[in-house]
Each structure stands twice: as structure tokens, then as C-alpha cells.
């Protein structure tokens, strides 16, 4: 009678029950094979333990984020606005501005003369996407990228905007995107960090970058980004000191681990164990990093593709090539920062120099990944922290002008990793000041990136000071129009 009760209530037969149970046991077995330590619980809260598995089938396995620090103008790159050229010098209509806030650099201006692009635009690819002549190499891969013209952010100045873009909050001490990926998915290569950071400086007006952009925040310190130096020695102090060999180093680390274990047994501080893990990672990197960072062994056709600068340590081209090698080797999240895009004046010249630095190598990276069969599983992101105004900052001259910060609408592009290639998403108004259709705010952007990595953004959480935090804070929606 009991069996009949459950059968009628749940419509579950005995065969159905045992079939489901077998599938569940198989899933547990698979989990134990993928992550051998998954069942070695230590009694801690599950919300503070590395997760290590995607929550559903991911489109992308790894991310390369080409952050154009300083905010390149969308009007000189991807958002073609011929009406701006026709209305050159006319004042920005108040109906368009709508009382939106300005920075302190233009708030005192009495006039806001509209400024068309110094550079011409052409249509490219089967999609017919408009791309500036400033970026001829990126234009050649128009059918491989998804241009997003309606990014918008809450911040109007560089520090909070870049912090917001990288951590989902304008304040500090929040984990960065790379740290969340490391925490949520772990590493694919035990000999390399899950999160690596590469820095380069352009020839334009620069904005600083700082460690809070790749911080682990309140996650344990094993998830912090590892910065590669722009010198010929990419990881400082990685090599053994003179007179110390591998066996000496191994013995020293073993004794140090024993001492740290005593300290952990006494205090219970998880950071002690994190330090031990970092020492072990550094030990393994001694073997993996030197070969990985030797770009001189790349074949001639690859050097030609990225350009001769790829053999100069610390250049954008060298970092783009190194990013491919790191990603190919299983690094989960590679973050490039290229400074120099803050063009408040002399924009045509400064953006011209910046484009020379990044155009060829950015396109080469995507082409290189594609020809290796890696683009489908690698998400590449290119863009800055906000956009630029459609009016001139300071003195109005058609050939030499600047643009102020503009958070309401700007452009980025994405490639590979499950994004929809050869598309343009979203529309701005005729003057490019406001979003007209399909907005994408920072939380939506983060939710979409996590979705592509197989993570539900609402479920990737960490309990800290009594609250469960996440990269998307308390909002954010996946944008279906960006997905292939």
C-alpha cells in the first residue's frame, strides 16, 4: 500500500527510481575523477570552498581580457555617427543630454560643440559592421567578433569605473573577475596560476593600474592575480638563489610547510594554508614559466602575424602572444591592461599611436586562437571602462580635439567562447549619446561572461561578514543576443 501511495503521488516507478539513482551515483563518481579532493571535506561552509566545477555545460573554458585602460572613444572605433560630422560645431541639444552629469573637467564649459570622428569608417565582413580606418586589422576579422555598442556603467571617473568593471563594485576589497573564475572553476594546469595579469603602457595619456584590480578581495589569497613583469624576467624572484639547488629548495619548503602547519593548528587561520599553496605553486612555476615565456622560439609566421614588437618584453604585442601561450597552457583567466587611452586632448594623434600598438596584435591573437582550434573555447574581450563624449572638451578645432568621460553608452567587442560572431549588438541614438536599443550594463556583462563559462551568476557566491557576495552583486541578466 505504501508503494502505491508514492507511485500515485509522485508518478515514480521502481525502475524509474533506480535509473535516476544510478545516474546520480555516476555523477558522483565523475566528480571524484575530475576533482579527486572533492569529497575530502574539512567542515567549512560550502560557500567559502572552491567550487571547481561549472554548473552547466560551458561555452568557454578560458578568458583573455584585453582591457584598454583609459577608455578609447567609441566614435573613433566602432560607433559610426555621420550626423555628428554633419552637425560639427553645433551645440549638444539639451534634449539629448537630458541633464546628465558631467565630470569636473567639462562642467564649467558653456558650450558643448559636437565633434565628428577624425577617422573615416567603412563596412566590413558579411555583417557590414562599421569599423574605423584606425583599426584596419581588427576590421579584417569583423566576421569573428561581436561588437557591443550599448555598454553603460554607473561610474564617470577612471578609478571607480575600472574597479566596477573588474570587480562589480566601485569600492575596493571585492574579488576581481579573474579571482571569481579561479574560485569558481579552479585551474586547468597545476603548474600555473589560474589567474595571470600582464601590463603594458602605450604612448597616449595614461591612467594608473593598481593591485585592487586583480585582487582576491575576501577570497583566499590563492585566487589573486599573478602579475608578470614587463622585464626579461617575467616572474621576479622565481629563480633559486645562487648555491641553492632543487633538492635544497624542496627540503626548505617541506620544513616551512611543517612550521606553517603548527601555526595553522594553533590559530586556524586559512591564510596560512594559502601561503603554503602559494609556495608550492612558485616551486612548480620554476619549471613551467621559463619555457612558456620564451617567445623567441615561436615560428616566423607567428612573429610576423603579431608584429616585430612581440619580441620586445612588456609591449602589448608581446603580452598578446604570451596571453595565447598562457591560455593554451590552461590558465583560466589572463588579464591584459594597456594604458594610454585617456584622450582629453590631442585625440587624433594619441588614438593613432594607441591603435598602432594594439590593432595588429589584437587581431593576430584572435586569428591565432582560431587557427589553433582554440577560439571556440576561449572568450576574448576587448574594451575600456567607459566611453567618450560626442562633444569636444576644451577648444574646438576639427583636427585637434579631445573628448571627456561618458558612461552612458560605449563600445567593446567580444570574440569566441560562445559569443555570436559577425554581429553588432545594440544601438545608440543618432548622436551616440544615449542607448536607443538593447542596453548592456556592467552587471549584465558579468552575468553573460559567467554564463559563457558555465556559471550561474546568482549561484557563484561567497559568505563574508554575514552576507553572501557575488560578482554581479544583486542584479544582472544574461544577454541572449550575445550568445551563439
Q: Residue 322: is its pLDDT beyond 90?
A: yes
Please tell me the predicted confidence (pLDDT) of residue 280.
Answer: 63
Please tell me the predicted confidence (pLDDT) of residue 187.
Answer: 84
Average pLDDT, the chain: 87
> Which residues are bridge partners to 339 per DSSP?
69, 201
The three cell numbers locating residue 427? 544601438
Instruction: Show the 3-state SS of the chain.
Output: CHHHHHHHHHCCCHHHHHHHHHHHHHHHHHHHHHCCCCCCCCCCCHHHCCCCCCCCCCCCCEEEEEEEECCCCHHHCCCCCHHHHHCCCCECCHHHHCCCCCCCCCCCCCCCEECCCCCCEEEECCCCEEEECCCHHHHHCHHHEEEEEEEECCCCCHHHHHHHHHHCCCCCCCCCHHHHHHHHHCCCCCCCCCEEEEEEECCCCCCCCCHHHHCCCCCCHHHCCEEECCCCCCCCCCCCCCCCCHHHHHHHHHHHHHHHHHHHHHHCCHHHHHHHHHHHHHHHHHHHHHHHCCHHHCCHHHHHHHCHHHHCCCCHHHHHHHHHHHHHCCCCEEEEEEECCCCCCCHHHHHHHHHHHHHHHHHHHHHHHHHCCCHHHEEEEEECCCEECCECECCCCCCCCECCEECCCEEEEEECCCECCCEEECEECCCCCCEEECCEEHHHHHHHHHHHCCCCCCCCCEEECCEEECCCCCCCCCCHHHEC
Please tell me the predicted confidence (pLDDT) of residue 41.
Answer: 41
- For 195, list phi and psi in degrees, rounded to 5: -140, 115
Cα(458)–Cα(466) distance, integer angstroms? 17
Please tell me the predicted confidence (pLDDT) of residue 45.
Answer: 42
Question: CA 205, 210, 212, 215: dihedral to nearest 10 degrees?
Answer: 120
Can you tell me which residue has the cell 576590421? 139
Quick: pLDDT tens for 221-234.
889 999 987 766 66
Q: Are 32 and 39 in contact (CB under 8 A)?
A: yes
Please tell me the predicted confidence (pLDDT) of residue 68.
Answer: 97
Q: Which residue has the higher pLDDT, 36 or 140?
A: 140
Cα(129)–Cα(146) distance, integer angstroms? 10
Question: CA 362, 363, 368, 369: dihedral to nearest 10 degrees?
Answer: 70
Query: pTM value?
Result: 0.85
Quick: pLDDT tens for 390-445.
999 988 888 899 999 999 999 999 999 999 999 999 999 999 999 999 999 999 99
Question: Which residues are CB-neighbours of 376 under 8 A, at least 6 positions away?
Answer: 416, 417, 418
Kindly state the average pLDDT of the residues 138-163: 97
Pairing of strands 410-415, 467-469: unpaired
Percent of the chain whose predicted confidence (pLDDT) is above 70: 81
Kindly state the average pLDDT of the residues 160-179: 95
Query: 10: how many CB neighbours lie within 10 A of its CB?
Result: 10
Cα(283)–Cα(256) distance, integer angstroms? 13
Nearest to 454 by CA among 422, 421, 417: 417
Amino acid at each position: 500500500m505504501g508503494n502505491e501511495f508514492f507511485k500515485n503521488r509522485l508518478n515514480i516507478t521502481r525502475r524509474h527510481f533506480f535509473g535516476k539513482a544510478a545516474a546520480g551515483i555516476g555523477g558522483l563518481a565523475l566528480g571524484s575523477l575530475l576533482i579527486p579532493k572533492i569529497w575530502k571535506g574539512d567542515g567549512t561552509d560550502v560557500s567559502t570552498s572552491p567550487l571547481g566545477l561549472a554548473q552547466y555545460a560551458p561555452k568557454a573554458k578560458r578568458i583573455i581580457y584585453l582591457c584598454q585602460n583609459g577608455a578609447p572613444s567609441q566614435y573613433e572605433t566602432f560607433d559610426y555617427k555621420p550626423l555628428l560630422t554633419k552637425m560639427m560645431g553645433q551645440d549638444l541639444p539639451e534634449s539629448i543630454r537630458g541633464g546628465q552629469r558631467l565630470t569636473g573637467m567639462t562642467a564649467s564649459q558653456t558650450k558643448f560643440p559636437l565633434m565628428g570622428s577624425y577617422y573615416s569608417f567603412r563596412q566590413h565582413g558579411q555583417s557590414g559592421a562599421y569599423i574605423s580606418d584606425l583599426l584596419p586589422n581588427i576590421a579584417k576579422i569583423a566576421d569573428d567578433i561581436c561588437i557591443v555598442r550599448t555598454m553603460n556603467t554607473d561610474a564617470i571617473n577612471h578609478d571607480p569605473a575600472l574597479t566596477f568593471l573588474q570587480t562589480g563594485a566601485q569600492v575596493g576589497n571585492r574579488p576581481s573577475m579573474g579571482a571569481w573564475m579561479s574560485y569558481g572553476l579552479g585551474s586547468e594546469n597545476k603548474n600555473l596560476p589560474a589567474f595571470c595579469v600582464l601590463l603594458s603602457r602605450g604612448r597616449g595619456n595614461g591612467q594608473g593600474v593598481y593591485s585592487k584590480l586583480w585582487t582576491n578581495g575576501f577570497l583566499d589569497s590563492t585566487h589573486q592575480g599573478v602579475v608578470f613583469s614587463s622585464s626579461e624576467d617575467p616572474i621576479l624572484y622565481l629563480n633559486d638563489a645562487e648555491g641553492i639547488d632543487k633538492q635544497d629548495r624542496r627540503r626548505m619548503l617541506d620544513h616551512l610547510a611543517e612550521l606553517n602547519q603548527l601555526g595553522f593548528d594553533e590559530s586556524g587561520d586559512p591564510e596560512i594554508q594559502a601561503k603554503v599553496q602559494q609556495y608550492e605553486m612558485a616551486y612548480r612555476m620554476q619549471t613551467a614559466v621559463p619555457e612558456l615565456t620564451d617567445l623567441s622560439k615561436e615560428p616566423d609566421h607567428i612573429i610576423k602575424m603579431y608584429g616585430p614588437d612581440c619580441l620586445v618584453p612588456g609591449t602589448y604585442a608581446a603580452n598578446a602572444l604570451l596571453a595565447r601561450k598562457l591560455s593554451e597552457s590552461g590558465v583560466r583567466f589572463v588579464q591584459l591592461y594597456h594604458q594610454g587611452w585617456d584622450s582629453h586632448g590631442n585625440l587624433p594623434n594619441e588614438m593613432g599611436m594607441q591603435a598602432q600598438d594594439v590593432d595588429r596584435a589584437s587581431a593576430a591573437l584572435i586569428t591565432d586562437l582560431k587557427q589553433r582550434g582554440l577560439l571556440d573555447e576561449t572568450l576574448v574581450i576587448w574594451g575600456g571602462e567607459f566611453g567618450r563624449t560626442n562633444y569636444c572638451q576644451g577648444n574646438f578645432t576639427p583636427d585637434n580635439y579631445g573628448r571627456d568621460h561618458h558612461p552612458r553608452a560605449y563600445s567593446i567587442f567580444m570574440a569566441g567562447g560562445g559569443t555570436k560572431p559577425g554581429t553588432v549588438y545594440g544601438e545608440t541614438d543618432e548622436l551616440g549619446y544615449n542607448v536607443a536599443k538593447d542596453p548592456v550594463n556592467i552587471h549584465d556583462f558579468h552575468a553573460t561572461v559567467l554564463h559563457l563559462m558555465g556559471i550561474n551568476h546568482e549561484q557563484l557566491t561567497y559568505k563574508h561578514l554575514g552576507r553572501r557576495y557575488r560578482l554581479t552583486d544583486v542584479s544582472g541578466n544574461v544577454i541572449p543576443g550575445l550568445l551563439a
